[in-house]
Amino acid sequence: MRKELLKGLTEEQIAKVEKCKSPEEILALSKEEGVELTEEQLEAVSGGGLCKSNKCPNCGSKNMKQKWSHHYYCLDCGDWWDY
């Protein structure tokens, strides 16, 4: 998930988000933590697609690994996002 989508969360909450294995887990976590997601965050979690190219939206690297069905992880900067 793009780092700017995690702004406003504590380090502990960010660590919990990074451990989630599906968008459903992220939504459940937001409810559990009492965090209201923005439109952009909801779109990202629901698979709205944040990156339309084959590059990391954070650093521009093409060195990425698929994490879930349409979620990717950048091996260079550690960012993760939806395609």
Burial of 1 (0-12, 13-18, 19+ CB in 10 A): buried
Task: Specify the DSSP element, H or E, that contains 12.
Answer: helix 11-19
Q: Digits of tens for pLDDT over the chain (83 positions)?
A: 667 778 788 899 888 888 888 778 888 888 898 888 776 777 677 654 444 456 777 888 878 777 665 677 788 888 877 66
